[in-house]
Structure 1
Amino acid sequence: MTPIRIRLEQYFGFSAHDTNWRTEILAGLTTFITMAYIIFVNPAILSETGMPLAAVTAATCLCAAFGSILMGAAANYPLALAPGMGLNAYFTYTVVKGMGVPWQTALGAVFLSGVIFLALTFSGIRQRLVAAIPHQLHAAVGGGIGLFIAFIGFRNAGIIVPSVATTVTLGNLRAPQTALAIFGLLLIAVLQVLRIRASMLIGVLATTFLGVLCHQVHWQPEPYHLSAIKATAFHLDIPGALRIGGFEIIFVFLFVDLFDNIGTLVAVTQRAGLIAPDHTIPRLNRIFFADATATILGSLTGTSTVTSYIESSAGVAAGGRTGVTAIVTGLLFFCALFVAPLVGPIPTFATAPALILVGGLMLTGLGTIEWDDPQIGIPAFLTVATIPLTWSIADGLSFGLTSYALLQVITGRAQRKDWMLYLLATLFLLRFIYIAKH
């Protein structure tokens, strides 16, 4: 074993986390495959603002690569970053198309939100916000996100479909892509029973290959040149973002990214067993530094807010425990800068089984919640239920945290040392009132 390899293993803590290079590399590849859809989905959404598709594709790959590698190298966590789903929709449909804001100005707002995040990180405020969340709700957040991503997986597989009468209902299980997803689900389940760590990766690739044989993978590559990024890079309008409507836009970018990130962070670190015995998350300032820096880079190159991805749980389920997992994912995103069209054949029905089973694995922590104690059980239930039903990690966390704080105050159990908790709850209530008026 070479000295460099020994030093790297010591830096990333392979012995402490009982892992090895093979496991970490497979975990990084698994994470990349489950979130590779963002390479195509994010440009498709942002291009509706008038931003050039090729430029946004390059920006998406670049900031995902930079953010994931920075997260792995600096913070040593198996968390991958990319432009956030939901935030890109808000950027396009609410800010640009709804409010008539030019995309250059919207990028300026993203840049300012990243700078504010960086300032909050260095001041320690973001870390205090995480610490304000009662540790009893950590498992509830993880369970709620588990149901959320499992629901996404069921939807992508066609197992659950919309219904006018009942909201959702069982889909056509004989549909080719749904049948393929069920095959993948069964294959991954069998491999997990056999304790094969690469079960997620094998399942996704096998389902994709079978889909190709069954003519269910439709792929039309759209190659691009890296020089295309010039069409969006450094085109942001910061002064414009500070003018009319700027505060509201920046606040929404801040709020959703902050609490989506916190929810994802708590869920993934708990699933990986990386939360300290005192319920704190080590190196939290480095995690937030990577997130904020990636968002700033994203705005400079031409994409919406960058955040931690819950699909990182797939890599954790595959055994990833260190920053090497995130670095591998980032390197694959960097490679996608040059070969993005080749990632296209991985369809959603192939990644859906991985999302479903990863979601199921994330429910294990719910057994640690004191359900018999209403002060904990009720907020935990609201958190678990509202994350998937509102289709928002931030909204679910808001319901859980606000109900916990209200029960504390109304029953006379509030303590002065928990002032940040009550401040957060007040902000959440004001946000709910604001949403109701709009």
Structure 2
Amino acid sequence: MGLNDIIQASPIGRFFELEERKTNFSTEFRGAVATFLTMAYILAVNPAILADSGGPCVAADGNIFSPDYLACKDAIKREYITATAISAMIGCFVMGVMANLPVALAPGMGLNAYFTFGVVGFHGTGKIGFEAAVTAVLIEGFIFLILALTGVRYFVAKLIPEPVRHATPAAIGAFLAHLGFQTAEGIGIVVGDVATAVTLGGCAEEDRVSLVALDEACFNNGGFDCIPGGTYTCDNTESSMTSATAWVGILGLLLTGILLSYKSRFAFVVGIGFISIISWFRNTEITYFPDNDAGNARYEYFQQVVSIEKLDKLLVPFSDDLKQVAVALITFLYVDFLDTSGTLLAIVSSMGVVDENGDFPKSRWAFSADAIATIVGSLFGLSPVTSYIESGAGVEAGSKTGLTAVIVGFFFFLSIFFAPIIASIPPWATGGSLIIVGALMSRSLIKIKWHIHSHAISAFITVMLMPLTYSIAYGLIGGMLSFAVLEGTFWILSKVGIAPPSYDEPGDEGEGKSAAGEEDKEEAAEAGAEETAPPAETSGEDAAPNKSEEANA
């Protein structure tokens, strides 16, 4: 009697319905490995993004680039590694046990960027304090839990304009790619510019010129009292693309892209891992441990290999000042709602368990598990925790039950002990992954009805505003307002006798889709029906799988 048979007949096998779902422990374990490897990058990327908020660190005399403040930020980054692993572990356990679905959870990409750059601000320069933002996440989790338990999510989803809903994942992807192209979290080939805001960078460190805030003190004292703006430009155009780390980052991007093209489950891990390892050698042009105070401190921590970081700075960082949280709360709820709904439906659709109403077994428990994970994550100062589309890798490997999610949770538990290694992953190793994740998230644009101008304009505004304003909230607001104004204007004009715009549906060179009249459309439809109708001799047994495949698609 093998291991699969033993587990199948055990209480664990019965609880996760292994026999009913025609799976076994080996298949679920293989799926868990695939899922964890495709989303393990979050352990390096999420702490780097959230640490840019500065967390609870306080800058003396307002200098957010002082050595003390940067040291506090590094400590926060290390704590965020542990916090990310713990929240992902708990989220996976809850999803697996409550919903029995092979869906893994972790702090959401896009949501973490909005938390840092859209709410708290880079190094805490936003209008909302860190503690208030975390409180908004906590409240959002409870609201989402109520929506999930009551089933209100279907009603809320209908209130969101269709083009904005489809454009949001791509817009967040563009934001993430924007970060991946820059220096703080990426490969550094996009830098600031005093004339054009951004320009081509990739210059070596000695060719970088810091951009400063030209306030009155800076202007009157010959530059001695200028505050760095946190970005830089290259000294001249000849110095562009001379940075070794930029080229290594591009190598990592291409390596990951090639492996993804061959459907490798190890693509992100290999891409990040390879670039990180070659960056750990000292006395090279691409080392993450240069021979200076900062580099030596990083190397000393890296040599520990195994360490458990305390959470004394991040644990329960809540605030009773709720006046600041309104905008953040609404956007957290909106984006998390869309992200979770889209991810869960995509994964369970690929499993073939979605009914004709768009629902699936234990759906309320699945959405509730996601909300509970967000509540738990807020206890550690995290942005919302959400379901990961990378769980589809496990489903493709055969996963069908929550046992996969539980095993992924165990992998995240093991990662808690290796914070020194994860903290030593350089930004140029993860920047390529951010760009690729952004590209993959752009797939949602195919659902937009580009031939309808109100859809195209509102979707495009959503996609463009998010990265250019460094704000997911502004992108969402711009997209929804533009859609409301356009459609509202059409409705008002229709009431005074002006017909609303009519649009031809896209087709093959417009055949059968012209506005020549309903008669032409009906004839084209009949012709299409005759061409696509199945042969009369097709049996019901042959036709059934086709219908099933269409439903799954």
Q: Which TM bucket (shorter chain)?
A: 0.7 to 0.9
Shift in Å, 1:281: 6.8
Greater relative contact order (Cα < 8 A, sep 6+): 1
**How far, CA to CA, are the matches of 1:12 and 1:400 in structure 2?**
45
The residue number in structure 2 matching 1:48 is: 57
5+ residue gaps, structure 1, are 415-438
Task: Give the structure 2 partner of residue 183 of structure 1.
Answer: 251
1:428 equivalent in structure 2: none
Aligned equivalents of 1:357, 1:227: Cα separation in 2: 30
> Between the two proteins, what is the percent identity of the paired residues?
26
Aligned to 1:308: 386
Instruction: Write the deviation string for residues 200-239 of structure 1: whole angstroms up to 9, x where unpaired.
Output: 22222222222224452333428798694467656756xx
- Distance in 1 of aligned mates of 2:267 and 2:84: 28
Are 2:107 and 1:82 equivalent residues in the alignment? Answer: yes
2:403 is the alignment partner of 1:379 = no
The answer as to whether partners of 1:48 and 1:92 remain within 8 angstroms in 2 is no
Cα deviation, 1:307-337, whole Å, max 9, x if unaligned, reads: 338xx45665796887677655543443343
The whole-number CA distance in structure 2 between the counterparts of 1:308 and 1:390 is 24
CA–CA distance in structure 1, aligned partners of residues 261 and 195 of structure 2 = 38
Residue 304 (structure 1) shift:
4.4
Q: C-alpha distance in 1, partners of 2:123/2:194?
A: 29
Match of 2:189, as an amino acid?
Answer: I
Indicate if the aligned counterparts of 1:60 and 1:82 stay in contact, CA closer than 8 A: yes
Output the CA distance in 2 between the equivalents of 1:121 and 1:60: 24
- Contact kept, 8 Å, 1:291 with 1:307, in 2: the verdict is yes
Aligned-partner SS, 2:55: helix
Say yes or no: does 1:264 pair with 2:334: no
Q: Write the distance in 1 (CA, Å) between the matches of 2:274 and 2:365.
A: 37
The CA deviation at 1:364 is 3.2
Counterpart Cα distance in 1 of 2:357 and 2:431: 32
- In 1, the alpha carbon distance for the partners of 2:474 and 2:250 equals 31
Counterpart of 2:271?
203
Match of 1:161, SS state, is strand
Which position in structure 2 is the counterpart of 1:432?
A: none
Alpha-carbon separation, structure 2, partners of 1:56 and 1:13:
37
TM score, norm. by length of structure 1: 0.73
Assess if the C-alpha contact under 8 Å between 2:95 and 2:405 holds in 1: yes
Give me the CA root mean square deviation: 4.3
Which residue, out of 71, 86, 99, partners 1:62?
Answer: 86
Structure 1 SS opposite 2:450? coil
AA aligned to 2:445 is L
Using the TM superposition, name which of 155-164 and 402-411 deviates more: 402-411
- The equivalent of 2:201 in structure 1 is 171
Q: Is the counterpart of residue 409 in structure 1 residue 485 in structure 2?
A: no
Distance 1:330 1:348 in 2: 25
Answer 1 or 2: which has greater helix percent: 1
Which of 324, 327, 342 lines up with 1:252 in the alignment? 327
Query: Hey, what does 1:217 align to over in structure 2?
Result: 288
* Correspondence 1:231-310 to 2 at 5 A: 233=315, 241=320, 245-246=321-322, 248-265=323-340, 268=343, 274=349, 280=358, 282=360, 285-299=364-378, 301-308=379-386
Whole-angstrom CA distance in 1 between matches of 2:457 and 2:118: 31
Distance, in Å, in 1 between the alignment partners of 2:129 and 2:459 is 39
Give yes or no for contact 1:149–1:359 (8 Å, CA) kept in 2.
Answer: yes
Cα distance change of structure 1 residues 376 and 411 upon mapping to structure 2, 3 Å threshold: same
1:148 aligns with 2:184: no
1:334 paired residue among 405, 413, 424: 413
- What is the TM-score of this pair, normalised by structure 2? 0.59
8 Å CA contact 1:259, 1:394 repeated in 2: no
- Classify 1:101/1:23 alpha carbon distance in 2 versus 1 (closer, same or farther; 3 Å): closer
Give, in angstroms, the shift of residue 48 of structure 1.
Answer: 0.6
Partner Cα distance (2:46, 2:441) in 1: 22
Instruction: Output aligned runs, 1:388-407, within 5 Å.
Output: 388-407=467-486
Q: Which amino acid aligns with 2:170?
A: G
For 1:395, give the aligned amino acid. Y
Query: Which residue in 1 is equivalent to 2:38?
Result: 30
Secondary structure at the aligned position of 1:36 is classed as: helix
Letter in 1 for 2:90: F
TM-superposed CA distance for 1:148, in Å, is: 2.2
Q: How much has 1:409 moved relative to structure 2?
A: 2.7
CA distance in structure 2 between the partners assigned to 1:147 and 1:308 by the alignment: 19
SS of residue paired to 1:308: strand
1:343, CA displacement in angstroms?
Answer: 1.3
Do the aligned residues in 2 keep the contact of 1:32 with 1:329 (CA within 8 Å)?
no
Pair 308,379 (structure 1): closer, same or farther in 2 beyond 3 Å: same
Higher alpha-carbon deviation: 145-154 or 72-81? 72-81
Residue 175 of structure 1 and its aligned partner are, at CA, apart by 0.9
The answer to whether the 8 Å contact 2:41/2:268 transfers is no
Change beyond 3 A, Cα 1:187–1:40: closer
Asked if the contact 1:180/1:207 (under 8 Å) is kept, the reply is: yes
1:2 aligns with 2:5: yes
Contact 2:37 2:266 in 1 (8 A): no
- Match of 1:46, SS? coil
Larger Rg: 2
1:341-380 alignment, distance < 5 Å = 341-380=420-459
1:154 partner letter: F
User: Greater CA deviation, 156-165 or 111-120?
Assistant: 111-120
Confirm or deny: 8 A CA contact 2:461 2:478 kept in the other structure: yes
- Count of matched residue pairs: 400
Q: SS at the partner of 1:81?
A: strand
Matching residue's letter, 2:254? L
| Offset at residue 254 of structure 1 (A) | 1.8
**Kept in 2: contact 1:60–1:303 (CA 8 A):** no
Cα contact 1:144–1:384 (8 A) shared by 2: yes
Q: Tell me, what secondary structure is at the counterpart of 2:418?
A: helix
How many Å apart are 1:189 and its aligned residue? 2.7
For the residue of structure 2 that corresponds to 1:338, the secondary structure is coil
Q: Assess if the C-alpha contact under 8 Å between 2:163 and 2:458 holds in 1.
A: no
Give the secondary structure class of the aligned counterpart of 2:264. coil
Question: Deviation digits for residues 333-374 of structure 1, max 9, x if unmatched?
Answer: 433433312212222211222222232233334233221111
Gaps of 5+ in 2: 60-71, 203-240, 290-297, 494-553
CA contact (8 A) 1:257 1:307 kept: no
